[in-house]
Amino acid sequence: MAVNPDFWRDRRVFLTGHTGFKGGWLALWLHRLGARVHGYALEAEGESSLWRATALEPLLDSRIADIRDSQRLRQSLCKARPEIVFHLAAQPLVRASYREPLDTYSTNVMGTANLLEAVRACPEVRAVVVVTTDKCYENREWLWPYRETDALGGHDPYSSSKACAELVCAAYRTSFLAARSVGLATARAGNVIGGGDWSADRLVPDALHAWSQGREVVLRHPGATRPWQHVLDPLAGYLGLAEALWTSPAEHARAWNFGPDAGGVRSVGEVVEGLATHWPAAAPWRVEADGTLHEATRLTLDSSLARTQLGWVPRWNLDEALRRTCAWQRAWLDGQDMQAFSQRQIDDYQGEVQ
């Protein structure tokens, strides 16, 4: 599956979460494709962020606001008159959800409902892609991958809130949007990595931050396995899914997995060891078990539906994803033009897909 530049040229797109890690990469890619992007998100957190590092603000119409503000969200979306909507704004961290469960639910559940209510009020919208997570499944710690038809659940507030968001989308799809031929799909990816992620309590950002300061990284659960993938792989899936929804909404309005191949399912310890091979300096780590908060030990996705129906396949294996992530971090530390560097990585990825 290749992203079609002709489809996206001058396309009006509304993107929530554009100041975040995945949202920032998607905003840059959409701009590269020639889309007219309208962003809606909170201010980028922390001193370091992809949004600031790549100087994204001049590339799109950016609105800094909260998706829990239903009136402002509706006004912003209707003013933009988008044809396609990507919803990535969220509270995206498991451990943060234990500290702030109500904020997590209000953002991830009611924020999604607010977005879909706004879509109902804007007749130009034809396709909506809501990004949730692989953690929305009821995790039974089994060996085989989860499919889109498996039960939803969630032990922690973050996972539970994303399962709730899936149910909200299903209700809006059948109750309101299908009758208008608006294609609404949800997208579930694995653990994404890539340059420009400074989120706390995430393995790769924590490791790169520690090593760049000459410190060792602390691992809580080195034996836990996850489906790891470069951020551009699921984003390519989201873009292709939006194109498919535009063409045939009834056929593609459902949930989709966008996970890595079997080689991307690795333990935390294996990922850190692989990351260290691409870091040019000392890369120490140690284990400090933390049993205070529950975290899943095994999680994989079955993405055969996206492969067969959309023609989507992951392009960068785990080693290439780790290499690209380290290269981005080193370039940033060296003071390079990170917008141009990031665009080159997108061009490299698209070149391999063509």
DSSP state of 35: -
For 28, other C-beta atoms within 10 Å of its C-beta total 25
| CA-based nearest residue to 207, from 135, 260, 289, 270 | 270
142 secondary structure, DSSP code: -
Q: Is 261 helix (H, G, I), strand (E, B) or coil?
A: coil
H or E stretch including 15? Answer: strand 12-16
- Total residue count of the chain as it appears in this document: 354
Q: How far is CA 39 from the centre of its chain?
A: 15
Quote the pLDDT of residue 299.
82
Residue 224 has pLDDT above 70, yes or no: yes
Q: Which pLDDT tens digit goes with each residue over 128-152?
A: 999 999 999 998 877 789 999 999 9
Q: Are strands 265-267 and 255-258 parallel, antiparallel or unpaired?
A: unpaired
Confidence grade of residue 65 (pLDDT, cut at 50, 70, 90)? very high
Q: Count the helix, strand and coil residues of the chain and give each as a percent rounded to the nearest 5.
A: 50, 15, 35
Q: At what angle do helices 157-172 and 111-120 cross, to 10 degrees?
A: 20
For 41, 209, 270, the CA distances from 213, given in Å and listed in that order, are 30, 7, 22
- Residue 177: other Cβ atoms inside 10 A: 20
**Among 105-109, 172-176, 202-206, the least confident range:** 202-206
**Looking at the predicted structure, is the pLDDT value of residue 353 above 60?**
no
CA distance 10 to 81: 13
Specify the DSSP class assigned to residue 262.
Answer: G
Q: How far is CA 31 from the centre of its chain?
A: 17
Cα 173 to the center of its chain, rounded Å? 21
Tell me the pLDDT band of 354, cut-offs 50, 70 and 90.
Answer: very low
Q: What is the domain partition of the chain in residue ranges? A: 8-291+298-350
Contact between 293 and 225 under an 8 Å Cβ cutoff? The reply is no
Give the pairing type, strands 225-230 and 217-219.
unpaired
What percentage of the chain has pLDDT greater than the value 70?
97
d(CA 34, CA 304): 30
Q: What is the overall mean pLDDT for the chain?
A: 94
- Per-residue model confidence as pLDDT tens digits over 183-216: 999 999 989 999 999 988 889 999 999 999 999 9
| Over residues 241-270, mean pLDDT | 95
Q: What is the pTM of this model?
A: 0.95
- In 35-126, DSSP assigns E strands to 36-41, 61-64, 84-87
Confidence at residue 291, expressed as pLDDT on a 0 to 100 scale: 57
May I ask the CATH architecture of the domain 8-291+298-350? 3-Layer(aba) Sandwich (3.40)
How many CB atoms are located within 10 Å of the residue 215 CB? Answer: 13
Lowest mean pLDDT among 14-23, 27-36, 274-283: 274-283
